[in-house]
Amino acid sequence: MRSCTGCGLHSTRTNAVPGSGSSKAEILIIGEGPGFNEDQQGLPFVGRSGKLLDELLAAIPMSREDVFITNVVKCRPPDNRDPLPDEVAACRPYLERQMELLDPKVVVTLGRVSMLRFHPKGKISEDHGKILEWEGRILFPLYHPAAGLRNPAIKRELQKDVLKLPEALRQANRVSPKNIDDKIDGEITTKAPNSPVTQEDQKLPEEEQENNNRPSSQTAEASTADAQLSEPLLKNETTKEKGDRQLGMF
């Protein structure tokens, strides 16, 4: 990813942001895209949103060492504009490969766009904090921390929702593909009751305007990224080390 030229975003990035965390994580947290600070440091969620994310994890209690954090697109679009559909499509194989390597039990999406990647007909105002099933895993959508920073009511929802993450992990141990028999549009099954929708929930344009707003494309396309994902082992490298390298562990 750090040397990828699979889409035009490579020409304006400072650093690609593959992700960080444990290669053994059972929880994969997916934001929407790098912001300014992430682009500068090459690490995900290092700004104020990252601080809030750390606080949310600490409440469970967990830390970044217990999860893996990445984004839908790995390079920052200029001026934080939405990435173009072809940019999202070009980057999609990286996220898919990360999921394949990590095989997480729980996928936590942060924000509307990240959620739509897995739940195309979802509404973040209705689905945040729900424990959902998606292709044999648990999907657990949350508001984006950046939205929480801008809206105290959304922050309270985030603080409440994240407390359900341990239960989501417990439910993940009971999920298997054979139990998913009523998928919605072949994507997802909702098992948990709805969370209450508040007026504050409806103020999502703020979230979309935050630094990580990224449109989702559901069209998987072959890209030059595919070729890089099938790169061979480096000299003296083990398969495990290759997996970690592809996850951005080093």
Binding site for ligand SF4 (CB under 6 A): 1, 4, 6-7, 9-10, 16, 73-75, 87, 90-91, 94, 225
Q: Measured from the CB of residue 52, what is the shortest distance to ligand SF4 in angstroms?
A: 24
Token code pair at residue 100: 């394949």
From the CB of 15, what's the least distance to ligand SF4, in Å?
10
> From the CB of 248, what's the least distance to ligand SF4, in Å?
10
Q: How far apart are CA 62 and CA 79, in angstroms?
A: 32
Q: How far is the CB of 223 from ligand SF4 (least distance, A)?
A: 7
Q: How far is the CB of 6 from ligand SF4 (least distance, A)?
A: 3
Q: Are 91 and 8 in contact (CB under 8 A)?
A: no
**Which residues are CB-contacts of 75 (< 8 A; sequence separation ≥ 6)?**
4, 7, 9, 10, 12, 13, 16, 17, 33, 34, 39, 91
Name the burial class of residue 15, with classes exposed (0-12), middle (13-18) and buried (19+) by CB atoms within 10 angstroms of its CB.
middle
If the CB atoms of residues 98 and 171 are measured against ligand SF4, the closer one turns out to be 98
Distances (CA, A) of 99 to 25, 44, 59, 60: 11, 17, 25, 23
| Residues sharing a CB contact under 8 Å with residue 68, sequence separation 6 or more, in sequence order | 19, 20, 21, 22, 23, 25, 27, 28, 29, 98, 102, 104, 247
Distance between CA atoms of residues 153 and 8, nearest Å? 37
In angstroms, give the least distance from the CB of 193 to ligand SF4: 37
Question: Residue 77 or 129: which CB sits closer to ligand SF4?
Answer: 77
Residue whose CB is less far from ligand SF4, 9 or 46: 9
Strand intervals (E) in 9-66: 20-21, 27-31
Nearer to ligand SF4, 89 or 175 (CB): 89
Give the number of other CB atoms < 10 A from CB of residue 178.
Answer: 7
- Considering beta carbons, is residue 73 or 165 the nearer one to ligand SF4? 73
Q: How far is the CB of 25 from ligand SF4 (least distance, A)?
A: 21
Cβ distance to ligand SF4 smaller for residue 49 or 71: 71
Residue closer to ligand SF4 (CB basis): 88 or 175: 88
